[in-house]
Amino acid sequence: MPLDTDRNRTLAALRDAPRGMHSRDLANALSLSLDVVERHLQYCVDYDLVTWKKKEGAGLAVITDRGRDYLTRQSL
């Protein structure tokens, strides 16, 4: 999996939000556009790093154990 700083920031923000975050709130917190965050979330879903269902820009995203492990291996 290629290294992507914004994707790692997205995962780290989800790790720090134990109950997850809505994609719009995540975009605001990271100062990224919603479509960029949603692209990162979809990538992470494809690799089972997060659970997320796109729902009118407000789908709740939650990091998985595999996502936490990924961040640990990246020393984040």
Q: Structure pTM?
A: 0.88
Q: Answer for the pair 40, 23: CB distance below 8 angstroms, yes or no.
A: no
- Highest CATH level, class, for 5-73: mainly alpha
Amino acid type, 12:
A
Q: What is the mean pLDDT of the chain?
A: 90
- DSSP character for 69? H
Each residue's pLDDT tens digit, 1-57: 455 899 999 999 999 998 999 999 999 999 999 999 999 999 999 999 999 987 765
DSSP helix/strand/coil, 6: helix
Which residues, 6 or more positions from 75, have their beta carbon under 8 angstroms from its beta carbon? none
For residue 8, give every residue at least 6 positions away whose Cβ sits within 8 Å of its Cβ, in sequence order, or none. Answer: 71, 74, 76
